[in-house]
Amino acid sequence: MGMKTPGPEAAPRAAGAAETGDAPVRAVLFDLDGTLLELDMARFLPVYLQRLASYVADLFEPEDFVHQLMRATAAVIGNRDRSRTNERVLYDTFWSGLDPDRHPGARPERRAEAMARFDRFYRTEFGRLRHLARPRPEASRVVAAARARGCKVVLATSPVFPRVAIEERLRWAGLDAGQFDLVTTLENMHTCKPQPDYYYEVAARVGVEPVHCLMVGNDLRDDIAPAARAGMRVYVVEGLVVNEDEPGAPRAPRGSLGQLLAWMERPAPLGNIFANRATLHGNSAGLQ
């Protein structure tokens, strides 16, 4: 059903490689944190984990809970079994690492209660972390501009959070899930960044070959290098760039979200704008 999803051995090794030529861009993938939303995950994650652990402290011993949640998240990131959703991988790993004698919420008869508590946290408490993020005023406009060009639009955020948490962060960015053809979440994906397989799965889900996709992100390890390996064009949003030392990241167009919006609004085909061009770090000279 739909297009064939190639294996990692078939992935081109650089953005804008000869294989892409001037192929038109038909889908734009946007990362969320650090890209459409000004959110520093290194600062956000410790606060989020502490709040979540406190919220379920009667069900799980907090320190071990955080350790097991991080272990389960690492299992999702490393999983290559496409037969299981990320959600299944996460919870299979999470439950298996908890001693029911120390963690009442891990007992089989109380797992439904624990799951309901997690959901309630995201619906009632997660929004209190909004002060750790700032919206980027161009975010909604650049998403709309991509759609106006006739492109499929994907929120390509790392699918280690449930949909309810991703929708909340979208609200912080002034966006809505309805603006996207696909939002990648814990529940609906079988792969995760930084695997090229994640980008193959996204392309297959929206019915667009990777060669016709553009990935927009701020993380050279999770967004830029693997998307390029999958054969996609890439664009680096500056401001909160992370993993600058990623050896697999190609030189690629860089600039602000506002510059991306300006390029999106130009009449020139996006395939020409984001083809393999020499660019200077920190400016847009190569795209002028």
Q: End of a domain among 93, 115, 130?
A: 130
58 lies in the same domain as 114: yes
Question: Is residue 5 domain-resident?
Answer: no
Tokens of 262: 């300006």
202 lies in the same domain as 222: yes
29 lies in the same domain as 70: no
The residue with tokens 């891990």 is: 106
The pTM of this model reads 0.87
24 lies in the same domain as 93: no
Q: What is the CATH number of the domain that holds 234?
A: 3.40.50.1000
Mean pLDDT, 10 residues at a time, the chain of 288 residues: 35 36 88 97 95 98 97 96 95 96 96 97 98 96 96 98 98 97 98 97 98 97 97 95 91 92 84 52 36
Structural domain including 199 reads 12-36+136-158+193-287
Picking from 93, 120, 142, the residue whose alpha carbon sits closest to that of residue 85 is 93
**Residue 149's pLDDT is what?**
94
Helices (H) and strands (E) counted in the chain, each on its own, are: 10, 8
Tokens of 31: 């990362």
Residue 46: cis peptide before it, omega within 30 degrees of 0: no
267 lies in the same domain as 207: yes
C-beta separation of 276 from 15 below 8 A? yes
Q: End of a domain among 114, 130, 146?
A: 130
Number of structural domains in the chain = 2
Question: Is residue 117 domain-resident?
Answer: yes
Separation between Cα atoms, residue 176 and residue 135, nearest integer Å: 13
Report the phi/psi class of residue 231: left, alpha or beta, with left for phi > 0 and alpha for psi in -120 to 50: left
24 lies in the same domain as 94: no
Question: Is residue 175 domain-resident?
Answer: no
Separation between Cα atoms, residue 42 and residue 57, nearest integer Å: 23
**Residue 12's pLDDT is what?**
31
C-beta separation of 181 from 154 below 8 A? yes
CB-facing half-sphere around the CA of 227: CA atoms within 13 A: 31
197 lies in the same domain as 236: yes
Q: What is the CA radius of gyration of the chain?
A: 19
Question: Is residue 165 domain-resident?
Answer: no
**Residue 30's pLDDT is what?**
98
**Residue 279's pLDDT is what?**
38
95 lies in the same domain as 231: no
C-beta separation of 287 from 256 below 8 A? no
120 lies in the same domain as 253: no
**Residue 251's pLDDT is what?**
86
Question: Is residue 167 domain-resident?
Answer: no
Question: Is residue 6 domain-resident?
Answer: no
Question: Is residue 163 domain-resident?
Answer: no
Question: Is residue 256 domain-resident?
Answer: yes
20 lies in the same domain as 77: no
C-beta separation of 163 from 170 below 8 A? no
212 lies in the same domain as 278: yes
**Residue 59's pLDDT is what?**
98
**Residue 273's pLDDT is what?**
63
Give the DSSP H or E segment for 155. strand 152-155
Query: What is the distance in angstroms between the CA of the first residue and the CA of the last residue of the chain?
Result: 41
The residue with tokens 């602000």 is: 256
Separation between Cα atoms, residue 94 and residue 106, nearest integer Å: 9
**Residue 266's pLDDT is what?**
85
**Residue 22's pLDDT is what?**
72
70 lies in the same domain as 142: no
